[in-house]
């Protein structure tokens, strides 16, 4: 078994890995909304209606306290949340 010299560009294939803060934040928002959705559903609410009510009114009482969902969603900026939802809706493949 021969060892390749990692400094020899012909012997190694290098890939550039890109990292986007925007993509990371979008995934964080997605996970928060999914968790809140699940908490609302478990509590017997219509999650879509409750989340829309929260976004439109900015009234946190639309969100249940179950599993700390109200506190968790309150950490998101409402405009950022709305922007992410709209962008995911209009982008091909749901923004993925």
pTM, to two decimals: 0.72
Please say whether the beta carbons of 35 and 67 come within 8 A.
yes
Tell me: the pLDDT tens digits for 3-41? Answer: 555 555 555 578 887 666 778 899 999 999 999 999 999
**pLDDT of the residue at 22:** 78
pLDDT at 14: 81
Task: Find the radius of gyration of the CA atoms of the chain.
Answer: 21
Question: Can you tell me the distance from the alpha carbon of 57 to that of 92, in angstroms, rounded to the nearest whole number?
Answer: 29
pLDDT of 95 strictly over 70: no
pLDDT band of 88, cuts 50, 70, 90 = confident
Mean pLDDT of the chain: 85
Q: Where are the domains of the chain?
A: 22-91
State the angle between helix axes of 47-57 and 21-42 in degrees (0 to 180), rounded to the nearest 10. 120
């Amino acid at each position: 078994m021969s060892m390749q010299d990692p400094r020899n560009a012909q012997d190694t294939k290098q890939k550039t890995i890109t990292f986007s803060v925007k993509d990371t934040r979008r995934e964080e928002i997605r996970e928060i909304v999914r968790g809140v959705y699940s908490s609302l559903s478990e509590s017997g609410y219509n999650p879509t209606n409750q989340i829309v009510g929260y976004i439109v009114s900015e009234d946190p009482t639309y969100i249940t306290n179950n599993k700390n969902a109200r506190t968790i969603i309150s950490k998101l900026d409402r405009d950022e949340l709305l922007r992410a939802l709209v962008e995911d809706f209009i982008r091909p493949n749901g923004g993925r």
